[in-house]
A and B are shown apart, each in its own frame.
Chain A
Amino acid sequence: MRPWRGLAAVLAAFILLLPTLPAAAEEADYDFSAAVDALRVKSYADKEVAISALADTGNDRSIEVLEGLLVGRLFYRKSDQRMVLAEPQDVDYEIRDAATGEPLGTTGKRKLKKIGINNKLRKHLRGTIARLNLAHNDPAVRMAAVKEMMRNLDAAASDLLRAAMARERDVKVREAIRSGIALADLDSPDAAIRLRAVTDLTGSLLPEARNRLSGLAERNADGSSSGPDETVSLAARKALQSIESKLALNRLAETVFFGLSLGSVLLLAAIGLAITFGVMGVINMAHGELIMLGAYTTYLVQLAMPNHLDYSLFVAIPAAFLVAGLFGIAIEQGVIRYLYGRPLETLLATFGISLILQQLVRTTISAQNVAVSNPSWMSGSMEINPALAITYNRLYILIFALLVFAALLAVLKRTSLGLQVRAVSQNRAMAKAMGIRSEWVDAMTFGLGSGIAGVAGVALSQLTNVGPNMGQSYIIDSFMVVVFGGVANLWGTLVGAMSLGVANKFLEPFAGAVLAKILVLVFIILFIQKRPRGLFPQKGRAAEG
């Protein structure tokens, strides 16, 4: 679908330019539509000629027409012989003029006649389309074309690639073309060329390269090479080794990325807790539910602006911060305030609140999970090399988590609220004596921690299911992070979250997801024995209370 949209844009530009170049454009249009009409001939041989002619017009629409022909969407209207591209609607077809793309409404199936092709033509079409794409202006299109061709390399394809290589300027595309040529050369009868091809493929991460090379590198039962000559096989073996080690490196990078991604989720979930638990010593079991509220806020925001989903998150973030923050302040004012100095009671009371919040969502919205959509810019992935792709949503959430962390750090370090918060956390009585309104600071701190939980909920809504129970799945993990990292130290939370995330992902291949999680939990239980105050303990007499 993507390239079509791109084409539409080009087309739009084209149309805008029309008035300035009326004569030339009209003439080109006429030639093009004649070339399209030529496809209507009966004989397949003539069709082949017509296809090449169409490709040679250099018109941007030719790719679309040829692709339509390839997938059987190119028709002519029986009434006026007009060539059309048709999309099946329920019963009828929605048709457009093939040459101009002008919509022509819907029409019945009977009124159209398909332009037929055979296998030979199909092959020819593929090659032609690939050639056109190889010459396209957009490097991404060219890249895709090279990839497509590599799946089916024959002499013609290899010639096309060689021709493209001469023109190509983009480094990445050149690299891909070089690999493609080398792949084709592996079949060359000349051993020297084969050897060079193998060398060219050394370190290539293309799955095809690996498959072909391992074919060449195979040994017979007696240890001799199965390939036609020994040197090539030897080189192939070496190339394969370098590929394997490169792949391993990429897998490592991928695991680390997944680990960091999980870590960023943990960080988001835990960081608000690090504030309420670390600074205030309050165990807030409803923290997970504040995250849930953030996620539901995202859902409601998207409901309210269905036509602007791409911007919905930017509205949802402040909204979730406010919603969760206000809930947090209400919880603090209504319950926690009365329980300071009784951490175990606080734990129980906030657990009660978590039950109430869950049930509230269940009765007011739905007991089922709700669908939160991803904005378009969050979907898709970034390909770093053929063996390593990073999905945008994970990448953005990782960045987002770090931004939230930095922002929080800045708030604590640079604002007067931060100063007061730190003062209260270090010595409540002294801070009070110096005129800090510790009740107000408590409420604000709790609101801040809760608001961040809400923001975390926005991010998590992009990764996982949003439902009344989602908070519960985070609460134990986030406590583990805070306890592991050390209370009252945001850096500890960062390091704790990231290392737990990475550790989890490294364990998974060996142990499976569940066992990995169990192992991490057991590790933390043991870790607390060794360092009861976490990685980065708070020091001083106050800490000994």
Chain B
Amino acid sequence: MKTLEKMRAAMRRERSLRRMAPDIVYDPDLDTSHGPILYLENITVSFDGFKALNDLNLYIDDGELRCIIGPNGAGKTTMMDVITGKTRPDAGTVFFGQTIDLLRLNEPEIAAEGIGRKFQKPTVFEQQTVHENLELAMHADKRVWPTLRARLTGEQRDRIGEVLDIIGLTAQCQSRAGLLSHGQKQWLEIGMLLMQNPRLLLVDEPVAGMTGHETERTAELLNSLAGQHSVVVVEHDMEFVRSIARTVTVLHEGSVLAEGDMNEVQNDPKVIEVYLGE
């Protein structure tokens, strides 16, 4: 009975995920013809002389799922800050596709280009309901006047319903987000990412505070997103990384220490030293 339920739910999700195909058109200029969708080159970020990122080079392929690991303070979150426009690097270039220079855009413009982000510390709009949170995240015209006039279409309502289903918060859809548990907030943030339906998802520590079962579901979800979307996941939970990873990048002291599949990376003496030497 239980397995049946589970299978049914999985199938439902599968269906809805497929429907998430990018029917929404992003910037037609996004040119991924050479493979990578994101180019980070020679990025340096320093805070009062301390280099949080040090000549970092990183390429993410279109449709790939990349895991990024590294000890605390390696610069993982800072890297996401650079991509999303929160932090300006002192040097280096960031390109989305071949042509879009992210360093010339601000946060909302970058988001509008199709880059979504889940924060390390879950930040949802606590005073508003789960439903409203999802509506806010929804891909739509986000200028002031259209937003003032916006009314939810039936299609959009369905979409919110589907995502609620995926993140398992249908029952809580009218309760205030502030009342959710830590894990539920994580799910809500993931749901908001889904609503944004971005080309590139940056997911910072998605499973912190989740139960083993929920971690599995997250892994499953992220796996199914890859292909249509490019996904970058930062995570400390090695089990989780192993369960989803195809390519793993190890950051250390602001630059890439190693890159490869999970086994390669785990047996890399430099990586072992960094992790065990601490």
CB–CB under 8 A between A and B in the complex?
yes
- Residues from chain B with Cβ under 8 Å of A540 in the complex: 47-48
- State the interface size on chain B (CB cutoff 8 A): 2
- Residues from chain A with Cβ under 8 Å of B47 in the complex: 539-540
Q: Within B44-59, which residues are at the interface with A (CB < 8 Å)?
A: 47-48
A-facing mask of B170-207, CB < 8 A → 1, else 0?
00000000000000000000000000000000000000
Closest B residue to A541 using CB positions: B47
Q: Within A528-545, which residues are at the interface with B (CB < 8 Å)?
A: 539-540
**Majority SS of interface residues in chain A?**
loop
Distance A539 CA – B47 CA, assembled complex (angstroms): 8
Q: Within A496-545, which residues are at the interface with B (CB < 8 Å)?
A: 539-540
Closest A residue to B86 using CB positions: A544
What's the least CB distance linking B53 to chain A, in Å?
15
- Residues from chain A with Cβ under 8 Å of B48 in the complex: 539-540
Closest B residue to A539 using CB positions: B48
Distance A239 CA – B147 CA, assembled complex (angstroms): 75
Distance A539 CA – B48 CA, assembled complex (angstroms): 8
Distance A540 CA – B47 CA, assembled complex (angstroms): 7
Distance A540 CA – B50 CA, assembled complex (angstroms): 11
What's the least CB distance linking A488 to chain B, in Å?
15
Distance A539 CA – B49 CA, assembled complex (angstroms): 12
Distance A539 CA – B46 CA, assembled complex (angstroms): 12
Distance A398 CA – B223 CA, assembled complex (angstroms): 69
- State the interface size on chain A (CB cutoff 8 A): 2
What's the least CB distance linking A209 to chain B, in Å?
58
What's the least CB distance linking B97 to chain A, in Å?
30
What's the least CB distance linking B117 to chain A, in Å?
17
Closest A residue to B48 using CB positions: A539
What's the least CB distance linking A62 to chain B, in Å?
75
Distance A461 CA – B47 CA, assembled complex (angstroms): 45
A-facing mask of B44-76, CB < 8 A → 1, else 0?
000110000000000000000000000000000
What's the least CB distance linking B49 to chain A, in Å?
10
B-facing mask of A169-187, CB < 8 A → 1, else 0?
0000000000000000000
What's the least CB distance linking B204 to chain A, in Å?
16
Distance A540 CA – B48 CA, assembled complex (angstroms): 8
Q: Within B3-51, which residues are at the interface with A (CB < 8 Å)?
A: 47-48
Distance A122 CA – B47 CA, assembled complex (angstroms): 81
What's the least CB distance linking B266 to chain A, in Å?
32
- Residues from chain B with Cβ under 8 Å of A539 in the complex: 47-48
What's the least CB distance linking A434 to chain B, in Å?
20
Distance A540 CA – B49 CA, assembled complex (angstroms): 11
Distance A540 CA – B46 CA, assembled complex (angstroms): 11
What's the least CB distance linking A536 to chain B, in Å?
13
B-facing mask of A242-263, CB < 8 A → 1, else 0?
0000000000000000000000
Q: Within A276-315, which residues are at the interface with B (CB < 8 Å)?
A: none
What's the least CB distance linking B89 to chain A, in Å?
17
Q: Within B217-243, which residues are at the interface with A (CB < 8 Å)?
A: none
What's the least CB distance linking A529 to chain B, in Å?
16
Q: Within B246-267, which residues are at the interface with A (CB < 8 Å)?
A: none
Distance A540 CA – B52 CA, assembled complex (angstroms): 12
B-facing mask of A441-466, CB < 8 A → 1, else 0?
00000000000000000000000000
What's the least CB distance linking A533 to chain B, in Å?
14
What's the least CB distance linking A538 to chain B, in Å?
11
Distance A141 CA – B60 CA, assembled complex (angstroms): 89
What's the least CB distance linking B78 to chain A, in Å?
11
B-facing mask of A350-370, CB < 8 A → 1, else 0?
000000000000000000000
B-facing mask of A104-137, CB < 8 A → 1, else 0?
0000000000000000000000000000000000
What's the least CB distance linking A266 to chain B, in Å?
29
What's the least CB distance linking A283 to chain B, in Å?
24
What's the least CB distance linking B261 to chain A, in Å?
34
Distance A400 CA – B48 CA, assembled complex (angstroms): 35
What's the least CB distance linking A130 to chain B, in Å?
69
Distance A312 CA – B157 CA, assembled complex (angstroms): 77
Distance A539 CA – B50 CA, assembled complex (angstroms): 12
What's the least CB distance linking B82 to chain A, in Å?
15
Distance A96 CA – B32 CA, assembled complex (angstroms): 110
What's the least CB distance linking B149 to chain A, in Å?
31
Distance A379 CA – B5 CA, assembled complex (angstroms): 93
What's the least CB distance linking A420 to chain B, in Å?
23
Distance A22 CA – B47 CA, assembled complex (angstroms): 86
What's the least CB distance linking A531 to chain B, in Å?
16
What's the least CB distance linking B191 to chain A, in Å?
27
Distance A449 CA – B48 CA, assembled complex (angstroms): 29
What's the least CB distance linking B274 to chain A, in Å?
23
What's the least CB distance linking A342 to chain B, in Å?
15
What's the least CB distance linking A37 to chain B, in Å?
87
What's the least CB distance linking A74 to chain B, in Å?
79
What's the least CB distance linking A341 to chain B, in Å?
15
Instruction: Identify 4 residue pairs between A and B in the complex whose beta-carbon atoms are under 8 Å apart, listed by A's number.
Output: A539-B47, A539-B48, A540-B47, A540-B48
4 closest cross-chain pairs (CB), A and B: A539-B48, A540-B47, A540-B48, A539-B47
